[in-house]
Amino acid sequence: MAALQVTEATFEQEVLQAEQTVLVDFWAAWCGPCRMLSPIVEQIAQEHPEVKVCKVNIDEESDLAVKYQVMSIPTLLVFKQGEIVNQSVGVRSKSDIEEML
């Protein structure tokens, strides 16, 4: 399953109310490291159907970035039952991300 683009309007339903673990990628189109991380995030989405993978474009959803104190991108947040249980900033390897989950 491909990563799901979420907005402030859909964040609560798609992330906070999700039954399964959710990986959220905060990114921007102009961000080089975000473009490097994106294929890895998509690969996680394809190979781990038990995890919901979401993407938040910080240029379009700046309020979400502020709410979750995203100071640098790419930032990955892992949610379980609406709570952040893990996070990382910067490009990470696929195995590092899988360990976060």
**Residue positions annotated with a catalytic role:** 31, 34
Cα gap 43→83, rounded to integer Å: 24
- 4, 54 contact by CB (below 8 A): yes
* DSSP type of residue 29: T
Residue 75: strand, helix, or coil: strand
